[in-house]
Structure 1
Amino acid sequence: MNDLRLSGKRARILADHLLSVPRTIYQRRSLEAALGMFLDLGRKTALHRASTVSASALSRFLNVYTWDTRTCWDSLQHTQWESLLLAARRKRRPRLHLCVDLTSIPKTGQKLPAVRVYNGVHGIHLVVLYAVYGALKFPVGYRVYRGRGTPTPVRLALDLLATVPQPIRRRFDVCVLADSGFESATFLQGVRDEGFEFVVGVRSTRRTDHPGRVTVSDCEHGSWLSLHSWPWEVVTLARCDRGDRVFFSVSSELLSGDGVARKGKRRWAIESFFKESKHQFGLNQFALHTAQGLDRWVLLVCAAFTLTVLCAGGGKTLEEDARLAAQIALPALVVVRLMIEVQRHEEFLRQHGYSVHLSRCKI
């Protein structure tokens, strides 16, 4: 219970820091309404759903107004990293998993920012860094892939890994998890240059340094091998059979094949985040026409998700955790919503002999 209270306190502090960034009361009210909208998982995330400001006001707030988005990102990431450090206190060299992957938001509009075709998907493509330690899991950074002629997803992923702060590097034994889209020698070497271990998926046709054209599909589960294009370190191979398909992954640590497979499965945590962020926290509903609007939309998705994780506990559903996060982090907004709901049904209550009077009590 103490941990839950501490997490709730951190959620309230984070919300206060975020709401203190806009310089005017009008903008702070818009940010509060936006956060409340993203925490309302039971309703579609759309600007007209914000209960205390108009859709046009929220659109101007996200697209036009010059409040300091970078400071909000800094406050969010500081809270995320500090929460991980606090969770690992009194642990001896704990293991932190950093999942990296690319997700696409399908979009058909031509006026939306950063829309490209990649892997057959017409939309916006985000490379995300996701930290997992025990019950804590946070999206700690993202980059937008803008298509041919710009930094590749591998380069963007390495840029994200370079942002991991020094206290995290000193405190944790860090392992990077990625799928076969990040199997290149550039990525593997970049991860090792950062001082991190890795478990990365590889294609079945990936060649090894054995004589002839020996690929990973020719090697046994748990075997140690050197990759043809990256021969500087020995890696451990794992084979995972899933029905009629076989998946392969390699680890920089010389573990058993089953050990590599178990670690590789932890990568699915980021897939769960992608699903929840798109279908419950509103990432898929992005429809703003500016790059600044995209950055602020992703910020609100990540902030709402982080607040929900900080308030999670007791086996509740994600929607219940998000509702609790709104009550803890945005109590004034929740009260206003309740008042609006009561006023909306005032005539119905009067017809049935009820008269409701609202007054604020001193606490």
Structure 2
Amino acid sequence: MYDLKLRGERASILADALLSVPTRPYQKRSLEAALGLFLDLKTKKALHRAHTVSASALSRLLNVYEWDTSECWASLVQAQWDALLLAARRRHHPRLRLCVDLTSVPKTGRDLPFVRVYNEVYGLHLVVLYAVYRDLKFPVGYRVYRGKGTPSPVRLALDLLTTVPAEVSHRFDVWVLADSGFESAAFLQGVRDLGFDFVVGVRSTRRTDHRGHVTVADCEHGSWVNLANWPWETLTLARVDRGERTFFSVASHLLSGDIVAREGRQRWAIESFFKEAKHGFGLNRFALRTAQGLDRWVLLVFAAFTLSMLCRADTLSLEQAAEVAARVALPLLVVQRLALQVWREEEFLRQHGYSLTLSRCKT
């Protein structure tokens, strides 16, 4: 109970830090309304659905107004790492899992920023770093893949991993989890250069250093292998059968195949986040036409998800946690929403003999 109360306080502190960044009162009101909108998982994310401010005001907040988005990002990421470090205090060798993956958001139209075709999907392509420790899960960074001739998803993923604070690297036993899209030797070496361990998916055709044409598909579950183009460390191979398909992964630790497979399954946490971010928090609703608008839209998605995670208890769904987060972090906005709802029904109440007055108590 105390831990949950402390997290609620951290959610309130984080919201105050974000809202303190805009210098103008009207910008602060718009940012507060935007956060409230993104915390309302029952409402589709469209600017005209926000309470207390107009759609044009939100559009100017996201696309035009000069407020320091980087300061908001810094406050958000610092709050996330602080929450993870606090949760791990007094624990011996806590394991932090850093999942990296690329998600594509299909889009139509050619005026949106960074829209490209990749993996046969026309849209936005985001490489995301997702931190998981016990029941705490946060998206701690992202990069946009901009297409051929720009840094690859592997390079972007490694760039994200370099942003992990030294305090976190020293406190946690850090494991990087990724699918076969990140199986390249450059990625494996980059992770090891950072001092992290990994469990990474590999294709069945990935060759080993055995004589002849021996691939991982020819090796047994739990066997120790050296990859042909990255022979510097012996890895543990895991095979996982799912219906007619078999998936392979390698770990930088010499463990049993079952442990490697179990660890690899933890990567699905980021897939759950992608689903929730797109369909609950509005990541797939992005329709702004500026790069700054995209960055601020993603900021709101990540911030709303983080506030919800900080307020989530075992018995609460993510939607319920988002409602709690709104009440904890944005109480005045919730009161304004309730007041607007009441005033919309004023005529109905009058017809039935009711007169309603709202007043604020002094505390």
Please state which band the TM-score falls in when normalised by the shorter chain: over 0.9
Matched, 1:5 2:17: no
1:95-114 paired onto structure 2 within 5 Å: 95-114=95-114
> What is the DSSP-based 3-state SS (H/G/I as helix, E as strand, rest coil) of the residue aligned with 1:14?
helix
Question: Alpha-carbon deviations, 1:95-151, whole Å to 9, x = none?
Answer: 000000000000011000000000000000000000000000000000000000000
Match of 1:239 in 2: 239
**Structure 1-normalised TM-score?**
1.00
Match of 1:199 in 2: 199
Alpha-carbon shift at residue 353 of structure 1 (Å): 1.9
> What is the DSSP-based 3-state SS (H/G/I as helix, E as strand, rest coil) of the residue aligned with 1:163?
coil
Alpha-carbon shift at residue 325 of structure 1 (Å): 0.2
Seen in structure 2, the aligned counterparts of structure 1 residues 232 and 314 have a Cα distance that, compared at 3 Å, is closer
- For residues 338 and 186 of structure 2, what CA distance do their matches in structure 1 show? 54
Question: Alpha-carbon deviations, 1:283-313, whole Å to 9, x = none?
Answer: 0000000000000000000000000000000
- For residues 34 and 144 of structure 2, what CA distance do their matches in structure 1 show? 22
> What is the DSSP-based 3-state SS (H/G/I as helix, E as strand, rest coil) of the residue aligned with 1:104?
strand
Letter in 1 for 2:279: H
Aligned length: 363
Match of 1:295 in 2: 295
Aligned CA RMSD, in angstroms, stands at: 0.5
Question: Alpha-carbon deviations, 1:25-65, whole Å to 9, x = none?
Answer: 01000000000000000010100011111001100110011
Alpha-carbon shift at residue 232 of structure 1 (Å): 0.3
Q: Which runs of 5+ in 2 are unaligned?
A: none
Q: What percent identity do the matched residue pairs reach?
A: 73
Match of 1:273 in 2: 273
Greater Cα shift, 312-321 or 98-107: 312-321
Match of 2:80 in 1: 80
- For residues 109 and 46 of structure 1, what CA distance do their matches in structure 2 show? 17
Letter in 2 for 1:58: L
Alpha-carbon shift at residue 352 of structure 1 (Å): 1.8
- For residues 362 and 294 of structure 1, what CA distance do their matches in structure 2 show? 41
- For residues 78 and 293 of structure 1, what CA distance do their matches in structure 2 show? 22
Matched, 1:257 2:250: no
- For residues 336 and 259 of structure 2, what CA distance do their matches in structure 1 show? 52
- For residues 331 and 202 of structure 1, what CA distance do their matches in structure 2 show? 48
- For residues 55 and 348 of structure 1, what CA distance do their matches in structure 2 show? 27
> What is the DSSP-based 3-state SS (H/G/I as helix, E as strand, rest coil) of the residue aligned with 1:221?
coil
- For residues 339 and 284 of structure 1, what CA distance do their matches in structure 2 show? 31
Greater Cα shift, 281-290 or 313-322: 313-322
Seen in structure 2, the aligned counterparts of structure 1 residues 233 and 314 have a Cα distance that, compared at 3 Å, is closer
Match of 2:208 in 1: 208
- For residues 119 and 29 of structure 1, what CA distance do their matches in structure 2 show? 40
Matched, 1:29 2:29: yes
- For residues 230 and 11 of structure 1, what CA distance do their matches in structure 2 show? 44
Greater Cα shift, 256-265 or 309-318: 309-318
Alpha-carbon shift at residue 348 of structure 1 (Å): 1.1
- For residues 159 and 214 of structure 1, what CA distance do their matches in structure 2 show? 32
Question: Alpha-carbon deviations, 1:148-183, whole Å to 9, x = none?
Answer: 000000000000000000000110000000000000
- For residues 314 and 182 of structure 1, what CA distance do their matches in structure 2 show? 33
Alpha-carbon shift at residue 314 of structure 1 (Å): 3.9
Letter in 2 for 1:337: R
Matched, 1:337 2:301: no
Moved over 3 A (4+): none
Matched, 1:135 2:135: yes
- For residues 314 and 266 of structure 1, what CA distance do their matches in structure 2 show? 19
Q: Which runs of 5+ in 1 are unaligned?
A: none
Letter in 2 for 1:172: F
- For residues 98 and 290 of structure 1, what CA distance do their matches in structure 2 show? 30
Letter in 1 for 2:328: I
Alpha-carbon shift at residue 197 of structure 1 (Å): 0.2
- For residues 351 and 3 of structure 1, what CA distance do their matches in structure 2 show? 48
